[in-house]
Amino acid sequence: MKSDELFALLRRRGVLWPTAEIYGGAQGLYDYGPLGAALKRRIEEAWTAWFVGLSHDYYVIDPAEILPEAVVRASGHLENFTDPEVTCETCHNVFRADTVLEKVRPEGVDGLTPAEIAEIVRARGVKCPSCGATTLSVPPPFNLMFGLDFGVSGRERAYLRPETAQSSYLSFPRMWDVGRRALPLGIAIFGKAYRNEIAPRQVLFRMRTFTQGELQIFFDPENFPLPFDRVRDEKLPVVRAARRLAGSEEVELVPAGDLVSAGGLPEFYAFHLAHTFRFFRDVLGMPAERLRLYEKSDQERAFYNRIQFDVEANLESLGGFRELAAVHYRGDYDLGRHGQGSGKDLSVTLTGGRSVLPHVLELTFGLDRNLWALADLHLAKDGDRTVWRLPTYLAPVPVGVFPLIAKEHAAFALRLSDDLAAAGIPNQYDEAGTIGKRYARMDEAGTPFCVTVDGETLADGPRQGTVTVRTRDSKAQERVSAQELPNHLAPFLRPPRPSRG
């Protein structure tokens, strides 16, 4: 399904639409409707269960979204959080450099200076995407942060956070005291981040405000105990940077253990890379053959990273692989910089008296782009119906409740809908149209179970009080006691959790 076709379907079903749509929309901003808002919550719940559930010492916090200037100065964002841009001197439009050059340099422009980008533009005769002129210039990189006048005087400066991660580093000393004063310590945040993108595009993939999930794991670099045997034999679809720079982007299936013994990755990193891959395959239900773990080279990595693999999915709507998440080994960069900026020693004293400035492993996840990927990968035509084959626990509306005949069965169906809601099972009551049309609406919305109240439900006999439960993917139907329905459905609606250890 093409991007515009997929977006039209999601907009029609109330998943999302452009912000200020009646005014023509706002570039890089989207509103989520009932289905989209519910799906975002389900994805967040699944991510939290899978990653924060790794340890009893991992916690979720909810910090402020505005950061004082001193924070982003110390973190390096004032200096380094930039994107190279290209400006047309004829029509005065501004573009991201990687967008303008994606056909002549598909590997991107990470690590290139403005002068090097300008030389590629000149040598390849690159034309303006808007007017076709060859009068393109490359100004200094553009800082992506949104600045704010802060306080009554307006003389203080603050910024909307460009990523959720910084708040974890700022909160680490307090969380050290709140927790058990032991490493590893995990701090997770799910919330909004803000970036003044030069040219927002690809719907949910380049936005000016978006939702991020990030887990920062603070650990002792000399001692990070993990149950590595659980993932040792997991074959991971990797694209190593060295092979790629030598000319091959072929995916290799490599056991996690071999990435350590022969591939040079630390054991703690390979463990979390495997755990992240399993989340996409086993929790989000993305086909393994559509996923790859793409290693960034020294020149391509973000300035704070020592090791970086991006999780990418091959999306038909966007014409190829796109980044959905990443695993970053940030070393002691962040606590070191904030220690210098604040004038405070952020090292901790471990049992035995040894002082350590913790290192950080970051698991980062873009919620909006993953929602789009779930639509791309799981929405499909099945004959004359469109089915969104989401995992059952991700479905925005897990259960549809129907009366077969509204006049006769509505009262029972409405009570059943209320009973399910009271049991913590979201559902949608629908009596409009034929049963077939109601099934079709629910299939398109990803609803895994539809429950129908009919004559047998109300009649005397062995099926009294039973309802028909129809399963989305197989279209199979079974009779289930209305009283037992919550217990019947509940196991399908809980996201998977990892084994702790």
Angle at 192 between CA 87 and CA 42, to 5 degrees: 125
Amino acid (one-letter) located at 468: T
Any idea what DSSP says for residue 5?
H
Could you say which DSSP state residue 500 is in?
Answer: P
Cα separation of 187 and 214, whole Å? Answer: 8
Could you list the pLDDT tens digit for every one of the 501 residues in the chain?
A: 899 999 999 999 999 999 999 999 999 999 999 999 999 999 999 999 999 999 999 999 999 999 999 999 999 888 878 888 899 999 988 888 888 888 888 777 877 888 888 989 989 899 998 899 988 998 888 888 999 988 887 788 999 999 999 999 999 999 999 998 999 999 999 999 999 988 788 899 989 999 999 999 999 999 999 999 999 999 999 999 999 988 898 999 999 999 999 999 999 999 999 999 999 999 999 999 999 999 999 888 887 899 999 999 999 999 999 999 999 999 999 999 999 999 999 999 998 899 999 999 999 999 999 999 999 999 998 888 899 999 999 999 999 999 999 999 999 999 999 999 999 999 999 999 999 999 999 999 999 999 999 999 998 766 679 999 999 999 999 999 999 999 999 999 999 999 875
The angle formed by the CA atoms of residues 84, 87 and 91, to the nearest 5 degrees, is 160
Domains and CATH numbers, the chain: 3-79+144-379 (3.30.930.10), 82-143 (3.30.40.230), 387-493 (3.40.50.800)
Q: Give the pLDDT confidence score for residue 420 in this predicted structure.
A: 97
**d(C-alpha 388, C-alpha 42), whole Å:** 15
Query: Residues 193, 137, 100, CA angle at the centre, nearest 5°?
Result: 55
Q: What angle do CA 347, 348, 349 make, to 5 degrees?
A: 135
Q: If we measure between CA atoms, which residue out of 145, 87, 75, 76 comes closest to residue 114?
A: 87
**Residue 234 in contact with residue 274, Cβ under 8 Å?**
yes
DSSP 230-262: GTTT-EEEEE-HHHHHTT----EEEEHHHHHHT
Q: Which two tokens stand for residue 444?
A: 């398109």
CA torsion sign for 438, 439, 442, 444 is negative
Q: For position 444, what pLDDT does the model report? A: 95
Q: What is the pLDDT of residue 254?
A: 98
Look at residues 412, 414, 379, 415 and name the one whose alpha carbon lies nearest to residue 395.
379
User: Alpha-carbon distance 224 to 222, whole Å?
Assistant: 7
Q: What is the pTM of this model?
A: 0.90
Residues 228 and 236: their CA atoms lie apart, in Å, by 14
What is the phi/psi pair of residue 74, to 5°?
Answer: -65, -35
- The CA distance from 298 to 286, in Å, is 29
